[in-house]
Structure 1
Amino acid sequence: MTDTALHGKAFDSRGRVNREVRLVRHPDGALAVGDLEVVPAEMPVMAPGRVLIRNLLLSVDAATRLRLDPISPPGYLPALKVGEALAGMVVGEVVESDVEGFAPGDLVHHDLGYRDYALVDPGNQALGVAGSLAKLDSELGPPELQVGLLGMTGLTAWAGLFEVASLKPEDVVWVSAAAGAVGSVAAQLAKAHGCRVIGSAGSAEKVAYLTDTLGLDAAFNWRDGLDGPLAEFAPDGIDVYFDSVGGEHLRAALDQLRPYGRVALCGAIAGYDGQPPSAPENLFAATTKDLNLRGFLAGTFADRLPEARAHLADLWGSGRLTLDLARYEGLESAPQAVVDMLSGRTIGKCVVALG
């Protein structure tokens, strides 16, 4: 199969076109659209032991930002070099396969997103074990559901609440970034489990979404303050804090948590733009209150994905859980989608439709 560049795009002998999103420069503070570019890329050529996949729906995740600085956090995935293509979870359709168990037409997920076509080695993962190539059950739902609620987004929320925070029905739960992809699932899961759930977000529109659409018990705009609303909506304190923000949000949670409270540290988006927030000055509250603070990566619980997926699919099928989409069309829109998601301009799961 011969690849030929025509009109600035990469074509193969079958007329298939491939492009990818690359890092133009390391961001100076907040990510800008110009820090990323969509460029023609060589069309992958089928090879032994590989699976050729046409990517369909890209998951746009906040954790991608951690790899765009010159140095990524210690223990995390390596930082991307300038000119290197981004990686991300994606749902795709198998075009050709030389791997047993994968056949043309199969719906799969893998971690070589941010491109139209990917040649995947099932033994290698760009994002660790959580990004392993796997076949999806199309009967569970469409790609939109598989990339979000039934994918790593749903697993992160599920594992954080049930495995990390040991959620109990009588708990009072605060979820930060509750209008985002993971936060919205976590908030609904806690509500479905019988908890009183308080959500915070960064705009009046999102606050209304949390109460009117997701049915949370209370919600507030963190830009108007943290301590006052938490004292108002949880006068006796909280038992669980699902943290996607860090910084001042974690400080407020430490003040509000009751003895033996639990914190699931999912992320720290307050420090994703190159200026990590200072550690909470009240961290000793974790000692005096006998709190359990645990950070986690969704990939740690990759073996629990079938169990989480079954639970989430059951709640979705019964109408007790939903996942709204911020949908962008075409790979060319991916840089804008990443910027919008990181800046808080999207609600629910941010995805880019590729095919």
Structure 2
Amino acid sequence: MSKTMKALQITRSTTSSPTLSLQTLPIPPLKPGHALVKINYACIHPSDRLNAQGLFPSTTLPRIPGRDFSGTVVEISETDTTNTSKSWIGKQVYGTSGSSLGFTSDGSHAQYCLIPHEALVEKPSSLSALQAATVGVPFTTALICLQRAQVKPNDIVLVLGATGAVGSTAVQIARAMGCRRVLTAARRAQATNPDILLSGENPAAELTLRLVELTGGEGVDVVVDTVGDVALMDAAVESLARKGRYAWIAAPRGDVSKKVSFDIFQAYRKEITLVGCNSVSPTIGDAAGLLRSLERWIEQGVLCAQDEGSFRTVRIENCVDEGYGRAGEQVVIEME
């Protein structure tokens, strides 16, 4: 095995903005409690692009970015006298960052990456290696939102941004959980027409009107908001049923208002709950546990990843410009 690898690295001098570049770096030496994983594919998520721009204050530099991955375990440190950890060697694994990978420890946008023992998750047979590299962030984020909203089988759930990666996953998981009804809202129709198409000049008013029609004025028990639009949030909070829960993972970007106002009298009378969700809050071990909890639904085909054709693959040698430089595209880095 070569002693060096190709990797992306974020660096910054004291006076400049962060710079992302392709580097040749030493393959990280194995350390206790970790496995060395040869990365096959790694997705470039929007959060990876934001990280490369210096927008995650927890990131320490220099740093190899990258949250999601699939790969093969090539080395692993011993965990006990029976040496059971060696059974991982050669296994196909996949995973996601939690709070560390790509932020405070080197991430998956490299040919090799150190992964803690507790974060090793065997790749489900129903996912291709490429698909497995794309699902960590959306699958775990959607589950975090639904868990923190304390979703129950008799709930009516509304997903804002239901055609996006996290939103479409939240729809699938809510249905798998047996929710009474899952309503979808999005700005684009795409292949699966949303229940509420927010394509007009006043999306918030459209949302309010359609929710009255679809629920008979009953309102929704849970909102999962993957959009982060202030006007939509105002409307959706007002549309919550008694003891409704609102979980969100996004906010407006740029120099615009991020303030939301709502009727606090009605809010406490209805006993609503607002829950902010942060996908980089769990530890990498906790994130692995979330993936394991979804394994049954993944293997049964209840929870599906996007088709490989939805992503553009880019060699690591070219992905600074053709991957990170293509905001809005779904890109996967192919390491070989």
Q: TM-score, normalised by structure 1?
A: 0.70
Aligned to 2:24: 41
Deviation sequence 1:180-211 (CA, Å, 0-9, x none): 22111112233453543333344x4xx23332
Matched, 1:221 2:203: no
Letter in 2 for 1:244: T
Question: Aligned AA for 1:308?
Answer: L
Contact 1:178/1:200 (8 A) holds in 2? yes
1:178/1:199 contact within 8 Å kept: yes
Once the two structures are superposed, residues 223-282 of structure 1 have per-residue CA deviations (whole angstroms, 9 ceiling, x without a partner) of: 7432232134211232211022333332221122222111122x21423xx546422022
Q: Distance in 1 between matches of 2:180 and 2:320?
A: 36
Q: Gapped runs of 5+ residues in structure 2?
A: 80-84, 96-100, 102-106
In structure 2, the CA distance between the partners of 1:291 and 1:58, relative to structure 1 (3 Å rule), is same
Q: Specify the alignment match of 1:279 in structure 2.
A: 259
* Contact 1:157–1:186 (CA under 8 A) maintained in structure 2: yes
Number of the residue aligned with 1:142? 128
1:196 aligns with 2:181: yes
| Pairs aligned (count) | 302
Q: Distance in 1 between matches of 2:196 and 2:325?
A: 25
Contact kept, 8 Å, 1:114 with 1:334, in 2: the verdict is no
| 2:169 equivalent in structure 1 | 185
CA distance in structure 2 between the partners assigned to 1:78 and 1:223 by the alignment: 39
Match of 2:292 in 1: 306
Partner of 2:98: none
- Residues in 2 aligned to 1:39 and 1:164: alpha-carbon distance in whole angstroms: 38
Shift of 1:25: 8.9
Which residues of 2 match residues 87-98 of structure 1 at below 5 A? 87-98=66-77
Matched, 1:351 2:335: no
Equivalent position of 1:57 in the other structure: 41
Identity within the alignment, %: 20
1 CA distance for matches of 2:161 and 2:36? Answer: 36
Paired residue for 1:31? none
1: CA distance, partners of 2:26 / 2:191: 42
CA distance in 2, matches of 1:276, 1:79: 25
Query: 1:43–1:136: structure 2 CA closer, same or farther, 3 Å change rule?
Result: same
CA displacement, residues 159-198 of structure 1 (integer Å, 9 cap, x when unaligned): 322x222324443322222222211111223345354333
In structure 2, the residue matched to 1:326 is: 311
Match of 1:231 in 2: 208
1: distance between equivalents of 2:256 and 2:298? 33
1:122 aligns with 2:116: yes
Work out the CA distance in 1 between the residues paired with 2:155 and 2:47. 28
Q: Rate the CA distance shift 1:138–1:261 in 2: closer, same or farther, 3 A.
A: closer
Q: 2:243 aligns with which of 256, 260, 270?
A: 260
What is the identity, as a one-letter code, of the residue corresponding to 1:293? L
1:17 offset after TM fit, Å?
A: 4.2
Question: Superposition RMSD on alpha carbons, in Å?
Answer: 3.6
CA offsets 1:16-43 (integer angstroms, 9 cap, x no match): 64232425699x9xxxxx9753312213
Distance 1:66 1:286, change over 3 A: farther
| Aligned counterpart, 1:128 | none
Distance in 2 separating the partners of 1:154 and 1:312: 10
Q: Which residue of 2 aligns with 1:133?
A: 119
SS of match in other structure, 2:125: helix
d(CA) in 2 for partners of 1:336, 1:286 = 47
Secondary structure at 1:308 match in 2: helix
With over 3 angstroms needed to count, the CA separation of the structure-2 counterparts of 1:225 and 1:333, relative to structure 1, is farther
2:90 is aligned to: 105
Is residue 184–residue 323 contact of structure 1 (8 Å, CA) maintained in 2? no
1:85 aligns with 2:64: yes
